[in-house]
Chains A and B, each alone.
Chain A
Amino acid sequence: DAGITQSPRYKITETGRQVTLMCHQTWSHSYMFWYRQDLGHGLRLIYYSAAADITDKGEVPDGYVVSRSKTENFPLTLESATRSQTSVYFCASKRRGSQETQYFGPGTRLLVL
C-alpha cells in the first residue's frame, strides 16, 4: 500500500524558475491538500481540492497554482519561484467526513536561491 507520495523529496531552484511539486495518493481519497511549513508559522494551507477539477484557495495561495485532473494526483506549481517560497511542502489527503483523518505525504524540501 503506497499511500501518499511526494516528489521530488528535495529540490533546489533559482528565483524566477517554475517548479512543480507532485503529490500522488493510492487510496482514492476525495480530498487533497497542500500545506507549507515554516519556522515561526507552523503549517499553513495553500490550496485544497474536494474532487477532481474542484480546487479552492487556502490561507496562503499567492504565487501557487494547482490542478486536479485525476483524483489521485494533485500537483502544486510555483509559477515564478521566490526566496520566500523556500519551505517544506506537505501534501495530504482524506476521505469525505469532517472527522476523517488527513494523511500526510513525506514532504518536499524546497530551497529557492
Chain B
Amino acid sequence: RKEVEQDPGPFNVPEGATVAFNCTYSNSASQSFFWYRQDCRKEPKLLMSVYSSGNEDGRFTAQLNRASQYISLLIRDSKLSDSATYLCVATPGGGADGLTFGKGTHLIIQP
C-alpha cells in the first residue's frame, strides 16, 4: 500500500473559486508534513510546511489531522497561476530521511 495517497484529479476549478485537497498517510510515525507544487516538467518546489496547529500563507491554508492521518490544503480565490500538480509529503523526520511523496493532485484553474 502506498504510504501517501492523493486523489490524482484533475480538479477543474473556475478562477476565483475555493478548492481543497486531502491526502492520507499510512505511516503513523510520520513527523513532518509538507505540500509541494510541481509545474509541468519542472522540479517540485515547497509550497508550505504543515503544522499540527494548522497554518496559513496568504491564500493557502494547510491542516494536519494526526488522529485520522490526513493532511489538507485549501486554496482560496484561485488564480490561473495556481494550475499545477500538488504533491503531499510525509516523512518520519530525523533529518536524513527522504520524503515520501503522494502521486500528486492535478489542478486546472479555468478562466
A residues with a Cβ closer than 8 A to B are: 30-31, 33, 35, 40-45, 48-50, 56, 58-59, 90, 96-107
Contacts and interface: CB of A to CB of B under 8 A. Distances in A.
Nearest to B100: A45
B44 A90 contact: yes
Interface in B18-45: 31-32, 34, 41-45
8 contacts: A35-B101, A40-B103, A45-B100, A49-B96, A56-B96, A90-B43, A98-B93, A103-B46
B96 A50 contact: yes
B94 to A, nearest CB: 6
A14 to B, nearest CB: 24
B87 interface: yes
B1 to A, nearest CB: 13
Interface in B53-111: 87, 91, 93-104
Nearest to B6: A42
Contact of B103 (A41, A49, A59): A41
Contacts of B101: 35, 42-44
Given A90-B44, A104-B43, A99 B102 contact: no
Highest count of chain A CB atoms <10 Å: which of B43, B97, B104: B43
A59 B99 CA distance: 11
Given A35-B98, A90-B44, 14 more contacts: A31-B95, A33-B98, A40-B103, A42-B101, A42-B104, A43-B44, A43-B87, A49-B96, A59-B98, A98-B31, A99-B32, A104-B43, A106-B42, A107-B43
B33 to A, nearest CB: 10
